[in-house]
Amino acid sequence: MENLDEVDLKLLKILHNNSNFTVKELAKQVNLSASPVFERLKRLEKNGYIKKYIAILDAEKLHQGFIVFCNIKLKKHDRNIGNEFVADIMDINEIVECYNISGDFDFLLKVYARNMKHYQDFVFNKLGGVKSIGSTHSTFVMAEIKNTYGIGII
């Protein structure tokens, strides 16, 4: 963060809320011309502050609004088993987030499904095919209260 100035942080805050602005519109908001704003954006992208630009889709409208947090305990702890688990889950579409965590479980998955039946099928047929899993524990989301889709820039 030592290389970011006030304008960089302002650009990041603006883009975090709406990444659909043109460079010209961003320049107006930070009181600079388009050329230095374009250069700043390229630097922020190159240095990894901006990872990518995305559209946030409505899971309910796409009939995938059933959210589950699934805790995973591996069969045993070693590098090969952990790497095998990570490789196996990377291409499973229902899993949108995966965290390696401490405590009673090894990983926390955020899963989107159509409904309970879809989630049951996912557990039996997709997670069930991941040989490194020892046990799972599912928590079903009743309502999403806050999701900022990223970080709060302080």
pLDDT, one tens digit per residue, over 5-19 is 999 999 999 999 999
Q: Choose the weakest-confidence range: 12-16, 99-103, 146-150.
A: 146-150
Average pLDDT over residues 28-52: 96
pLDDT at 148: 85
Alpha helix stretches (DSSP H) within the chain: 6-17, 23-30, 34-46, 79-89, 116-121
In the sheet where 107-113 sits, what is the strand order? Answer: 95-100, 107-113, 66-74, 133-140
pLDDT at 138: 98
Average pLDDT over residues 30-34: 97
Q: Is the pTM of this model over 0.85?
A: yes
pLDDT at 2: 67
Residues of the chain with pLDDT > 90, as a percent, come to: 90
In this structure, what is the dihedral angle of CA atoms 9, 14, 19, 24, given to the nearest 10 degrees? -90
pLDDT at 6: 94
Strand, coil or helix: what is 95?
A: strand
DSSP 130: -
